[in-house]
Amino acid sequence: MSRIASAFAQPNHTAFIPYITVGYPSIEATLRVVPLLAESGCDLIELGIPFSDPIADGITIQKASFRALQNGVTPKICLEVAKELNQQVKVPLIFMSYFNPIFNYGLDEFCDACARSGIDGLIIPDLPPEEGYDLELITQDHGIDLIYLLTPTSTEERIQLVAQKSRGFIYLVSVMGVTGAREKLPPGLAAFVTKVRSTTATLSAAKGKQFHPLCLGFGISTPQQARQMGKIVNGVIVGSRIIQLMEEDKSLSLVQSFARQLREALDES
């Protein structure tokens, strides 16, 4: 069992997965906020590698990515930061990156560097499962979970394919669109989760394996939303609101308070 899968092993526990962009607003801020989030009760941490064309991200993370690029943050620097963070925190670390930076780095070279830096998983929004075979083999060789995404419009065939290929957990996108804090979550999420869970449970039972944890992201921005979604999924991913709070309060006390509120809300779900 991978470290990511182990994070979901605790019964009746919904995982809290914060996202931050590496190098926003600075490398120093990244090195401060990740241990703070770990201390505040998160179970995994998603580290975004800044990219010039983040097509799945809304304005908040786009700006954070642009700022990090202005700061000179590269995939190599992200790997160095991850290695330092891995010495400070015990929770699994996951890179979120678009495919182009990984391809330019070299698939095997990047995964080898990830393993040496203590990265446990990869999320690549623009890599469809139909095109991920080569990277799946390489990540497996390096003990890294390659995590695929599903949307509310995913077909039954796509759900089955992702259920077969995704490792660690399956990333459920709450909306058709980009990331970003939202006042209200769209209707129909419970039905979406139920549909995916039914498919993954059936496939897992047929293979004699435990079903995939399902984690929901894109738009969750309040403890109330986290509590609501925590009743139906195994993990909740929160990014844009954390980025906003990092901008509002350089001391990070607002981030710490928010993270603790999210942890409490999920414990109540």
**At 207, phi and psi to the nearest 5?**
-100, 0
Collect contacts of 149-154 with beta carbons under 8 A, ≥24 apart: 149/123, 149/125, 149/173, 150/196, 151/176, 152/176, 152/186, 152/188, 152/189, 152/192, 154/196
The rounded distance, in Å, linking the Cα atoms of 72 and 60 is 19
Q: Which of 28, 39, 43, 46 is catalytic?
A: 46
The rounded distance, in Å, linking the Cα atoms of 136 and 256 is 35
183 is catalytic: no
267 is catalytic: no
Strand runs labelled E in 70-137: 93-96, 119-123
Helical (H) or strand (E) element with 214? strand 214-217
How do 145-147 and 149-150 pair as beta strands? unpaired
Lookup: tokens for 222: 């309040």
Q: Which of 39, 43, 53, 57 is catalytic?
A: 57
Question: Amino acid letter at 30?
Answer: T
CA proximity to 169, closest of 38, 4, 48, 9:
4
145 contacts 4 by C-beta, under 8 angstroms:
yes
Residue 131, SS3? helix
Please tell me what DSSP assigns to residue 130.
G
Question: Amino acid letter at 202?
Answer: T
**What residues are annotated to the active site?**
46, 57
